[in-house]
Amino acid sequence: LERTLSIVKPDAVEKNHTGAIIARLEQEGFIVRAMKRVHLTRAEAEGFYAEHRGRGFFDELCSFMSRSPIVIMALEREDAIAKYREVIGATNPANAAEGTIRKLYAASVGENAVHGSDKPESAAREIAYFFAGYEVS
Ligand code: ATP
Protein backbone atom coordinates (compact mmCIF):
# COMPACT_ATOMS: atom_id res chain seq x y z
CA LEU A 1 0.00 0.00 0.00
CA GLU A 2 1.05 3.56 -0.72
CA ARG A 3 1.11 6.55 1.65
CA THR A 4 0.36 10.23 1.08
CA LEU A 5 0.53 13.34 3.26
CA SER A 6 -2.78 15.14 3.64
CA ILE A 7 -3.33 18.59 5.13
CA VAL A 8 -6.67 20.18 5.94
CA LYS A 9 -5.62 23.80 5.40
CA PRO A 10 -6.52 26.83 7.60
CA ASP A 11 -9.54 27.90 5.54
CA ALA A 12 -11.23 24.50 5.87
CA VAL A 13 -10.39 24.13 9.58
CA GLU A 14 -11.74 27.65 10.26
CA LYS A 15 -15.02 26.74 8.53
CA ASN A 16 -15.37 23.50 10.58
CA HIS A 17 -15.04 21.23 7.53
CA THR A 18 -12.36 19.02 9.10
CA GLY A 19 -14.72 16.20 10.09
CA ALA A 20 -16.53 16.13 6.75
CA ILE A 21 -13.21 15.97 4.88
CA ILE A 22 -11.86 13.12 7.04
CA ALA A 23 -15.17 11.24 6.72
CA ARG A 24 -15.02 11.57 2.93
CA LEU A 25 -11.42 10.31 2.84
CA GLU A 26 -12.38 7.28 4.97
CA GLN A 27 -15.33 6.58 2.65
CA GLU A 28 -12.86 6.60 -0.25
CA GLY A 29 -10.85 3.85 1.43
CA PHE A 30 -8.03 5.83 3.02
CA ILE A 31 -6.72 4.63 6.40
CA VAL A 32 -5.50 7.33 8.82
CA ARG A 33 -2.03 6.15 9.95
CA ALA A 34 -1.12 9.38 11.79
CA MET A 35 -2.96 12.61 12.57
CA LYS A 36 -2.45 15.88 14.45
CA ARG A 37 -3.69 19.48 14.64
CA VAL A 38 -0.95 22.12 14.76
CA HIS A 39 -0.54 25.86 14.25
CA LEU A 40 2.58 26.20 12.06
CA THR A 41 5.01 29.06 12.50
CA ARG A 42 5.81 30.98 9.36
CA ALA A 43 9.28 29.35 9.29
CA GLU A 44 7.72 25.87 9.53
CA ALA A 45 5.39 26.68 6.61
CA GLU A 46 8.35 27.98 4.57
CA GLY A 47 10.27 24.77 5.28
CA PHE A 48 7.38 22.60 4.17
CA TYR A 49 6.96 24.55 0.91
CA ALA A 50 10.71 25.07 0.30
CA GLU A 51 10.42 23.81 -3.30
CA HIS A 52 8.07 26.73 -4.09
CA ARG A 53 10.49 29.40 -2.76
CA GLY A 54 10.97 32.03 -5.47
CA ARG A 55 7.52 31.56 -6.99
CA GLY A 56 5.19 34.58 -7.02
CA PHE A 57 2.69 33.08 -4.59
CA PHE A 58 5.26 31.80 -2.02
CA ASP A 59 4.77 34.63 0.53
CA GLU A 60 0.99 34.50 0.27
CA LEU A 61 1.04 30.70 0.57
CA CYS A 62 3.24 30.69 3.71
CA SER A 63 1.23 33.48 5.38
CA PHE A 64 -1.96 31.58 4.69
CA MET A 65 -0.62 28.23 5.93
CA SER A 66 0.56 29.79 9.21
CA ARG A 67 -2.46 31.99 9.96
CA SER A 68 -4.41 29.39 12.00
CA PRO A 69 -4.28 25.66 12.83
CA ILE A 70 -4.20 22.86 10.25
CA VAL A 71 -4.89 19.12 10.54
CA ILE A 72 -2.17 16.88 9.13
CA MET A 73 -2.60 13.20 8.30
CA ALA A 74 -0.51 10.38 6.90
CA LEU A 75 -2.97 8.33 4.82
CA GLU A 76 -2.61 4.84 3.39
CA ARG A 77 -4.43 3.18 0.50
CA GLU A 78 -3.79 1.33 -2.73
CA ASP A 79 -2.62 3.99 -5.25
CA ALA A 80 -3.01 6.62 -2.48
CA ILE A 81 -1.29 9.57 -4.18
CA ALA A 82 -3.24 9.49 -7.44
CA LYS A 83 -6.53 8.53 -5.78
CA TYR A 84 -6.21 11.34 -3.20
CA ARG A 85 -5.55 13.91 -5.94
CA GLU A 86 -8.63 12.63 -7.80
CA VAL A 87 -10.80 12.99 -4.66
CA ILE A 88 -9.57 16.53 -3.84
CA GLY A 89 -9.86 17.86 -7.42
CA ALA A 90 -7.92 20.54 -9.31
CA THR A 91 -5.66 23.02 -7.47
CA ASN A 92 -7.97 25.86 -8.54
CA PRO A 93 -11.46 25.02 -7.22
CA ALA A 94 -12.95 26.83 -10.23
CA ASN A 95 -11.55 23.96 -12.34
CA ALA A 96 -12.34 21.16 -9.86
CA ALA A 97 -14.80 18.44 -10.85
CA GLU A 98 -18.25 18.25 -9.23
CA GLY A 99 -18.20 16.41 -5.91
CA THR A 100 -14.47 16.82 -5.26
CA ILE A 101 -13.34 18.17 -1.89
CA ARG A 102 -12.03 21.40 -3.41
CA LYS A 103 -15.25 21.93 -5.40
CA LEU A 104 -17.26 21.43 -2.20
CA TYR A 105 -15.13 23.34 0.31
CA ALA A 106 -12.53 25.60 -1.36
CA ALA A 107 -12.96 29.27 -2.25
CA SER A 108 -9.92 30.06 -4.43
CA VAL A 109 -6.56 28.77 -5.70
CA GLY A 110 -4.89 30.45 -2.71
CA GLU A 111 -7.33 29.07 -0.15
CA ASN A 112 -8.01 25.62 -1.54
CA ALA A 113 -8.94 23.60 1.57
CA VAL A 114 -6.46 20.70 1.29
CA HIS A 115 -2.95 19.64 0.33
CA GLY A 116 -1.80 16.30 -1.03
CA SER A 117 1.60 14.89 -1.98
CA ASP A 118 2.33 14.85 -5.72
CA LYS A 119 4.67 11.83 -5.93
CA PRO A 120 6.10 9.06 -3.71
CA GLU A 121 9.35 10.93 -2.92
CA SER A 122 7.34 14.01 -1.86
CA ALA A 123 5.06 11.86 0.30
CA ALA A 124 8.04 10.34 2.12
CA ARG A 125 9.66 13.76 2.65
CA GLU A 126 6.41 15.41 3.75
CA ILE A 127 5.42 12.62 6.18
CA ALA A 128 8.91 12.75 7.72
CA TYR A 129 8.68 16.56 7.96
CA PHE A 130 5.66 16.38 10.26
CA PHE A 131 5.75 12.96 11.96
CA ALA A 132 8.35 11.03 13.92
CA GLY A 133 8.58 7.36 12.96
CA TYR A 134 6.78 6.18 16.12
CA GLU A 135 3.80 8.44 15.34
CA VAL A 136 2.98 6.61 12.10
CA SER A 137 1.43 3.18 12.54
P1 ATP B 1 -0.92 20.99 -3.21
O2 ATP B 1 0.59 20.85 -3.27
O3 ATP B 1 -1.38 21.90 -2.11
O4 ATP B 1 -1.69 19.72 -3.29
P5 ATP B 1 -0.96 21.42 -5.98
O6 ATP B 1 0.12 20.41 -6.09
O7 ATP B 1 -2.27 21.14 -6.60
O8 ATP B 1 -1.29 21.77 -4.50
P9 ATP B 1 1.05 23.45 -6.54
O10 ATP B 1 1.18 24.03 -7.89
O11 ATP B 1 2.06 22.49 -6.03
O12 ATP B 1 -0.41 22.84 -6.46
O13 ATP B 1 0.91 24.67 -5.53
C14 ATP B 1 0.98 24.46 -4.14
C15 ATP B 1 -0.04 25.32 -3.45
O16 ATP B 1 0.29 26.68 -3.69
C17 ATP B 1 -1.48 25.18 -3.96
O18 ATP B 1 -2.22 24.19 -3.32
C19 ATP B 1 -2.06 26.54 -3.66
O20 ATP B 1 -2.54 26.59 -2.31
C21 ATP B 1 -0.88 27.46 -3.79
N22 ATP B 1 -0.92 28.13 -5.09
C23 ATP B 1 -0.62 27.60 -6.30
N24 ATP B 1 -0.77 28.50 -7.28
C25 ATP B 1 -1.17 29.64 -6.68
C26 ATP B 1 -1.50 30.94 -7.13
N27 ATP B 1 -1.45 31.25 -8.41
N28 ATP B 1 -1.88 31.85 -6.21
C29 ATP B 1 -1.93 31.55 -4.90
N30 ATP B 1 -1.63 30.34 -4.40
C31 ATP B 1 -1.26 29.40 -5.27
ipTM, two decimals, is 0.91
Classify each residue of 97-119 as buried b or exposed e, where b means 16 or more C-beta atoms within 10 Å of its C-beta: eeebbbbbbbeeeebbbbbbbee
DSSP structure class, residue 97: P
* Measured CA distances, 96 to 10, 12, 41, 91, 130 (Å): 19, 16, 29, 7, 27
At residue 91, the pLDDT reads 97
DSSP assignment string, 21-42: HHHHHHHTT-EEEEEEEE---H
DSSP structure class, residue 124: H
Tell me what the mean pLDDT of segment 118-136 comes to. Answer: 97
Name the closest-CA residue to atom 2, ligand 1: 115
Q: What percent of the chain has pLDDT over 90?
A: 100
Ligand 1 atom with the shortest distance to the CA of 118: 6
At residue 36, the pLDDT reads 98
Pocket test residue of 48, 60, 112 for ligand 1, highest count of atoms within 8 A of CB: 112
Distance of CA 128 to the CA centre of its chain: 14
Pocket of ligand 1 (CB under 6 A): 57, 60-61, 91, 109-110, 112, 115-116, 118
Q: CA-to-CA distance for 123 and 83, rounded, in angstroms?
A: 14
- Per residue in 55-103, pLDDT (tens digit) is 999 999 999 999 999 999 999 999 999 999 999 999 999 999 999 999 9
At residue 71, the pLDDT reads 99
Q: Which residues are catalytic?
A: 115
Q: CA-to-CA distance for 130 and 133, rounded, in angstroms?
A: 10
Hey, what domains does the chain have and what are their CATH numbers?
Answer: 2-131 (3.30.70.141)
